[in-house]
Structure 1
Amino acid sequence: MGEIVALRDAVAELVHDGDTVALEGFTHLIPFAAGHEIIRQRRRDLTLVRMTPDLIYDQLIGAGCARKLVFSWGGNPGVGSLHRFRDALRHGWPVPLEIEEHSHAGMANRYVAGASGLPFAVLRGYSGTDLPAHTATISTVTCPFTGERLAAVAAINPDVTIVHAQLADRAGNVQLWGITGVQKEAVLAARRSLATVEEIVDELTPVPGSVILPSWTVTAVAEAPRGAAPSYAHGYYERDNAAYLAWDTISRDREQFACWLRELEAQT
């Protein structure tokens, strides 16, 4: 486990047509390089899972990789909408897109349940919303101790979870720090997992507040410098705000997006 491989080989081995795929990372450490490789390998019919889908999911949807999106919020952070997402949802371009919407707390609890080997999670939430009426993975349970009615959400176990991190050692142990979101839970919930990293080093140095994913939790590790750009990697590079603004223009127009896609697919 935690085998160190090339990114292209990792995606070819771990991500299959029809898979449920989670690319997690909150604000930073978003696995753009891995998502772009999925696009280049033309994976299709994916169920994409993410708490906060942003540009990389807009790109995957626009490239025709996705048939379904499971999420709790979607947008171009600080800019506006995801236009490829909207086009797929409204007009079925390039392929129709199904959605399953949750709250942030609901999605986080689904990962926790999956990581814990439980069939569902219990939380206080969804009260006053109509999401339970439209979402088969949201239900209610009665507390056996107090009789209180609580929300229940089905566990989620992705076929593959992909995360980006700052470091891995040569044994395949992965270290990430900063805003860590639900990467740990998403990896532990998955059947297979890939961590792309800024660097592979001989030995990991303790960092306050860092999360360690032991090699036995990760199927493969791939070195991908700047693999989170245009998001940021704490301690390595800053967020490229201009890229997020530029994407708003590119993604609004199908022809501009098609040009962007051809350029991406031509990269090696």
Structure 2
Amino acid sequence: MTGRHSDRAAATPILELEGVNKSFGAVHVLKDVSLRVFAGEVMALVGDNGAGKSTLVKTIAGLHGVDSGDIRFDGKPAHLAGPRGASELGIEVVYQDLSLCENLDIVENMFLGREKRTRAGLLDEHAMEGMAAETLASLSVRTVTSLRQPVASLSGGQRQTVAIAKAVLWNNKIVVLDEPTAALGVAQTEQVLALVRRLAERGLGVLLISHNISDVLAVADRISVLYLGRRAAELQASATSQQHVIHLMTTGQHLVASTMENRS
């Protein structure tokens, strides 16, 4: 099941934020923000600089607590007690810097801090390599020629692929992708966007943060637009246009219907 064709009316979101507020001193960064992410869909989060995207992502990642509002995971109240708490629930965030160690190979990066060991306490290289290969194969990744390549030798697209595969290795339910196509070439961007869709096709909920509206419209099911800390709109990607999304990002207001460019 993919998000593009599924009926959300009776479904329970994997992740739901309702009326979330967050301030830093006198600065009210998030103002009654609500967001829902369903299994098998790509929800895009867009907004201009200062809209509150980074703060919202860090809230979902457990880095920031909320001042007020509700967070639910699989329909149950959730308290995101730090990054470990978010990870234990099933939320994994792939930040723009990817957090990969260039001197380690692909397998070592995918299991960094979560290494598998034999009964004798030694690293179980065979098991880790097998799990890494299985994960990449399940995502139809064909751009990596060797699991033992040092990350330093990989292209930007390959590094993004490794970071995403690392995020889904542990059976997470939500993957948050922070600007996954930033600084990538055209071919590498297409590969990463195809991988984003495959995550949703596997039944994961994907929260995509991006400034590239063309990329968003290419892969997203729904789009949530933030403007100065508030949710300006939630849109069906198939029923909006780049012009409309950009207008919402910069003004917080819908375009007059007659000026919209409807997408088929």
TM-score (normalizing by structure 1)? 0.28
Q: What is the TM-score normalised by the length of structure 2?
A: 0.29
